[in-house]
Structure 1
Amino acid sequence: MLIVWMPVTESRSQSHVVNTHFSVFFPVGKTVLDTAYTSNGCSLSAMLDYLSAVRRDSSLLLLNVQITGMASPEGSYQTNRRLANRRAQALASWLRAHTDTELPLVLADNMGVGWSLLDTLTLDSPRLSPYTASMAHILSLDSTQVSYHRGLTIDRRVLLLRRAQGGRLWPILMRDVYPQMRMARAEVDVARVETPPTIVCPAPEPMPEPAPAAPTVVPSTADTVATAAETPCQRHIILKTNAVAWAFLISNIAIEMDVAPHWSVALPVNFSAWNYFSNSRKYRIFSLYPECRYWPSACNTGFFVGAHLGMAYYNVAFGGRYRTQDRGGHRPALGGGVSAGLRLPVSRNRRWQMELSAGVGVYSLNHDKFYNQPNGLKAYTENKTYTGIDQASLSLCYVFDFKRGRK
């Protein structure tokens, strides 16, 4: 275990210490830190920005960063110890790889099942309120290891929890409480340091008193903590494709990138170059819809609204008398509109997501009408304005982490 202490100059003295913690979570039985799992990306980004703010503030001193790993209690004592230690090491390794200076990291001892955390989470779960007395009794018992399997041991309280209330308690714990215990936590201790007043001996001759310097406003520790809480989340690049377009045999792909908390930009591209089973039915198109999105969530998840531009070259016919083509093949539909939608994860690691969105827009159309037959002659030219639905998507998305350089 490596402990690195930051030096303190003799002219400074500690006044008080502020403890701020950041948590990351792991799937059951896993020790690899996945930044896309639950809220890990937001928590890690906030921690890096908080540490950076502390280092920039000369009135703050970073004392240590204590790393603790935890596991849920359903496994053996030995397995939970191994999981907890590896989760702590995974978080420590991630911090070393993403910070420019050496941190005063401290790996905690006696890592394993967080029984005190289990007690706290139990009180916070409304579904467990009918079992509060039973839980309190079991958790108050001393920790005693009993034989479990192939030489392994298990805390007897785990066996009591499995049997409590006729087995009705255990499934609730597995669903509501244990996922919050599979974690690693970084506790950051920061002290505000004060510079003692300088004693100035009187000069032998009177000197004119200099004008007072403008006071320097030093942000408080509370402000620093608040700034860390408002830092941006992990940014992502999302690759996606629209199932609605594929249903009409329109190949498509879109890329989206987070550019700031609450904001992202997207570029969908659609292309189709074939007929629908006959020459008189076709939907040939090449279109681009660059879009800017606003997300109420700072992590750019959930509901969003957007504004987009649109450009589409088109050659379409639906079996009627006329075929419609943008004028001369070089006068695309131009316009734009607004959209709204929802994107939610569909996999446990949150890499795979589904997005549902719709939009309306206004477009200027300048196209030629041809008789809908082989080598059909041009009938007339039409100029019109289209107002209506211009987007409808049910998209499958995959999320990549966007690696940002840090100074």
Structure 2
Amino acid sequence: MKTYIVGGAVRDRLLGLPVVDRDYVVVGATPEQMVALGYQPVGKDFPVFLHPESHAEYALARTERKSGKGYKGFTVHAAPDVTLEQDLSRRDLTINAMAEDGDGNLIDPYGGQRDLAAKLFRHVSAAFAEDPVRILRLARFAARFTDFRVAEETRALMQQMVAAGEVDVLVPERVWQEIARGLMEAQPSRMFQALRDCGALARLFPEIDCLFGVPQPPAHHPEIDTGIHVMLVVDWAAAQGYSLPVRFAALTHDLGKGVTPPELWPKHHGHEAKSVERVRELCERVRVPADCRDLAVAVARDHGNVHRAQELRAATVIELLERVDAFRRPQRFTEFLQACECDFRGRPGYETRAYPAPAYLMQAFAVARAVDAGEVARATAPDKVREAVFRARAAAVEAWKLTL
């Protein structure tokens, strides 16, 4: 019985990155032996155990055989005679198929260290094609390791997988899990580029894929291409360290431009309402969590109003604040403004340009929130309270605007 550290921990140590999680593979043991040593079994699909003291995960060395469609269609074989090299051969990329023994010696049967030096994502074997989740994982790694590139033979294999319909059977929850993790990496646009290069983006997120090649007015969008703009926006959100809901809203704020008839290009009048509809459809299909969905809908609907905030009447400002639920959820209002600023900044030359709208709306919100709604309610008939509070807030904002 021998134990090895495998996968990402080995990769990150070689890259000089902090090692957060350590995965272990045990060779030459049976489940019964692991239990006898005090390990707690937790694996459903294959034998995984928790260490009795550290609670780290230890998996028995195993091989897999494709037995059906999708990422769950596998028959797993775990036995004492499975070697470390056999276990590593079923992993996705060579840079994730390395191991270390107890003395710190590197075991690298598939050239992972070489590909790390070359900054290359390369599949270990043809078994890569058996699990469509690996396309998403590679794309996520592209967003994390921003100076790596995909090996040509690996890209070709991914294209074959897409053509064979493998990504079409991915369950929505798993798609969202990988995309959400990729959005939280350093440069999310690289994830979507990797998916687009192999054709998977069109199958998984056609609403995003169709934005590429759609022009916008150059006066407001020097980058012109809507797809490029959205990638700049989501990368700006990542560079600011913003939350997942903000990054998702940045990604989806302009989906309506993908359905503008070409004869109307480069203008996209009314794209906000279309964007809301497309955001809702995407979120339903991929099972996007409510916090991400709700912020994305708000940003898709009202980012244009934020950009022209100083032109809005006081009553319109209050309507905007109510639509985004600012009075009950001020933190989400902050995230809403962050996502709108990402839209503004995601254009060449706009990175340092003055953008007073968020501060202006935040001040207007403070003025409106300072209105004593309880006092207004006590002086108003019950069926008129909502309207009276609205008028009082609008009047306060109007008075504040006169002081500017």
- Which category describes the TM-score, using the shorter chain as reference length? under 0.3
Q: Which has the higher contact order (CA 8 A, sep 6+)?
A: 1
Between structures 1 and 2, the one with greater helix share? 2
Between structures 1 and 2, the one with greater strand share? 1
TM-score by length of 1: 0.22
TM-score by length of 2: 0.22
Max Rg structure: 1
